[in-house]
Amino acid sequence: MLTFHIFQDINTGDNFECTLGDDTSTKVTYARSSKTVKSNGGAFSEVFNTTTYTTKVSIHNKHQFAITDLIVRDVIPTCEDKRAKIILRKPVGLADAKDSESIDLKNDGLRVGWEKLVDGKGGEKEGKFEWKWKVGSGAKVNLEAEWEIKVPGEFPWVEAH
């Protein structure tokens, strides 16, 4: 039996669903939150808006076997405009790491690092990083990233994908 499916064009920013095979024994959750604080300017200081973003990824392995070589990729925003400053707070040590360097988070083999550059793209330059670990049978891992974006009060900050 031969089957085929005609896909419509998918434009940048469009949503689509693609099932690569459900694994009901592995539960993955992702949550992202943000909080903005506006500073009070004085006679000799500038007003700044600081937005703190937090992402939390949780993986629960309900299998009877370990998931080895698990890689979870995430990205923090980057900005070429010198008026904006992005400060990576978590995972600890990643901000000081070099491209392709892996940091041991001292949590039973959990590692994090900037993804490898491919043709000069990816890695720290584009804010792309990855967690590497193995999740034992019945185990759960929680991954957390946190960064701040500090911009002058009148500067309109828009996150683009």
Per-residue model confidence as pLDDT tens digits over 7-36 = 455 566 666 555 445 677 888 888 889 898
Q: By C-alpha distance, which of 91, 89, 87 is closest to 102?
A: 91
Q: What is the largest CA-CA distance in the chain?
A: 77
CA angle 58, 158, 18 (to 5 degrees): 45
Q: Is residue 8 part of a domain?
A: no
Kindly report the pTM of this predicted structure: 0.75
Per-residue model confidence as pLDDT tens digits over 97-126 = 887 778 888 777 789 999 887 888 878 888
Q: Is residue 158 part of a domain?
A: no
What six digits make up the tokens of 157?
A: 């900050």
Residues 119, 121: Cα–Cα separation, whole Å: 6
Q: Is residue 99 part of a domain?
A: yes
Q: Locate tokens 């500090």: which residue? A: 150
Structurally, the chain folds into a number of domains equal to: 1
Domain interval for residue 118: 26-39+49-152
Q: Is residue 91 part of a domain?
A: yes
Per-residue model confidence as pLDDT tens digits over 39-68 = 877 777 778 888 899 999 888 888 898 888
Q: Is residue 18 part of a domain?
A: no
Q: By C-alpha distance, which of 73, 130, 70, 122 is closest to 102?
A: 130
